[in-house]
Structure 1
Amino acid sequence: MTIETGILFFTAILIFAVTPGPGVFAVLARSLAFGVHRSLAMIIGIVISDIVYLLMACKGLSYIAENWSQVFTIIRLAGAAYLIYLGWNIWNTPVTFYLDEKPTNQANDHIKSFLQGFLISASNPKVILFYLAFLPTFIDLSNLTGSDLLLMGFLTFAGLFLSLIIISTGAAAARQYFQSKSAIGRLNKTAGATMMGAGAFLASRQ
């Protein structure tokens, strides 16, 4: 991978990371409710999931998709069901959960947040399509070297993490405007509807 190709790839990752989707909205919602610190695990989960797709794309995800379509259908439907379930929970989350409650176990909270981020990104068709269709425009996967793979992984991690941290920081700074019960209630409904809509979209994909 040349320097020019690396810069273009990193720029594409930055743009891709801030494109509206379930992962971005989940980070926004969590950061608005809890701040940047308690959003880090979710951000890392999203980033790790994307890197897994990057590696799979480099190792022939398209071949697997073509020859194991039934497996991917199960994964897609399971991901859709999870997004709908998560959206329903957010929709029905009591306002007092965001305003009053504190987690009793920080470790469990971070693990749960990480898994949510990982599964949201893993179930997002935007991620799959990006790495399957867009990745070959930057590098010849048939001549991929180990150093190319490491560099792409690093650039992906840096680009996604930087973009999501900026989003999280901006949302956390705006928390003061979302402290009333009515504002938090609207946030719950919007986040829940977005998650459920993403799940319905994923389930409808062929």
Structure 2
Amino acid sequence: MVLQTWLGFFLACWVISLSPGAGAVASMASGLQYGFARGYWSALGLQLGLLLQIAIVALGVGALLAASATAFTVIKWFGVFYLLYLAAKQWRALPSDLGQSMHVRPIGKPLALVFRGFLVNASNPKAIVFMLAVLPQFVDPHAALPTQYAVIAATMVSVDMIVMAGYTGLASQVLRALGTPRQQVRLNRTFAALFVAAAACLALLRRAPA
């Protein structure tokens, strides 16, 4: 990948990562509930899901997914129900005791948070179809494809890790500014509503005509 092409892709990565979506909501929800250090494990899971999406496109499976109405629908509705599950979990999340140390927070197991983030990205067929439309524009078919997709993956993951760190850290700092458990409950339920909105957007998604 030549430098000029990579710079264009690098800029596109920032635009894609900064765009609000289920991944951003998941990162902020984890930061709010667990703090930055522990909540960021969810963002790492998002990156594993992102790598899976890139691999699917690189292997040509993405084209099959885009063409298969059944596969697209199954993955889509799995993603919808998983986002609704996260919404319910966020709605029931208990507030932290701000009278105690800020270390007193619900304990989320790192592997569980990684898996949670992974499922958010892995269950989004829209992202795979989107990548199928975007990534080939930055690939030179006459050059080594594995090397180019390795550069693409490294660039996308690096940018997304920075952006999700920002979302996670921002939500973590918001918790410090909340003075009462009631305010925390309201914010938890706001994020629950955002998960529902993301699920609704995914449910309304239609496969492009073949």
TM-score range, shorter chain: 0.7 to 0.9
- Counterpart Cα distance in 2 of 1:97 and 1:70: 47
Q: Could you tell me which residue of structure 2 aligns to residue 43 of structure 1? A: 43
Q: CA RMSD in A?
A: 2.4
Do the aligned partners of residues 126 and 59 (structure 1) sit closer, same or farther apart at CA in structure 2, a change above 3 Å counting? Answer: same
Name the residue aligned to 2:118: 118
How far has the Cα of 1:80 moved from its partner? Answer: 0.8
Task: Give how far 1:74 is off.
Answer: 1.0
Q: Residues of 2 paired with 1:134 and 1:65: CA distance?
A: 16
**What is residue 19 of structure 1 aligned with on the other side?**
19
Moved more, 14-23 or 123-132: 123-132
Q: Is it true that 1:205 corresponds to 2:197 in the alignment?
A: no
CA contact (8 A) 1:32 1:175 kept: yes
Q: Distance in 2 between matches of 1:28 and 1:66?
A: 30
Deviations 1:125-154 (A, max 9, x none): 552343122212222457552211211111
| Larger RCO (alpha carbons 8 Å, 6+ apart) | 1
Q: Which amino acid aligns with 1:75?
A: I
**In structure 2, what is the equivalent of residue 4 of structure 1?**
4
From the superposition, tell whether residues 126 and 186 of structure 1 become closer, same or farther in structure 2 (CA, over 3 Å). farther
Give the gaps of 5 or more residues in structure 2.
none
TM-score normalized with structure 2 length: 0.84
* Aligned counterparts of 1:142 and 1:66: Cα–Cα separation in 2: 24
Residue type of the alignment partner of 1:63: A
AA paired with 2:78? A
Please state whether the residue corresponding to 2:93 is helix, strand or coil. coil
Higher helix share: 1
User: 2:154, 2:120 → 1: CA distance?
Assistant: 21
> Is 1:135 the equivalent of 2:135?
yes
**2:176 alignment counterpart:** 176
Deviation at 1:178, TM superposition (A): 2.5
Partner in structure 2 of residue 148 of structure 1: 148
Give % identity: 25
One-letter amino acid of the structure 1 residue matched with residue 29 of structure 2: A
Q: Contact between 2:96 and 2:106, CA under 8 Å: does it hold in 1?
A: no
Q: Distance in 2 between matches of 1:129 and 1:186?
A: 35
Cα distance 1:181–1:59, how it changes in 2: closer, same or farther (>3 A)?
A: same
Describe the shift of the 1:195–1:102 C-alpha distance in structure 2 as closer, same or farther (beyond 3 A).
closer
What 5-or-longer segments of structure 1 have no aligned partner? none
Equivalent pairs, count: 202
Greater Cα offset, 140-149 or 83-92: 140-149
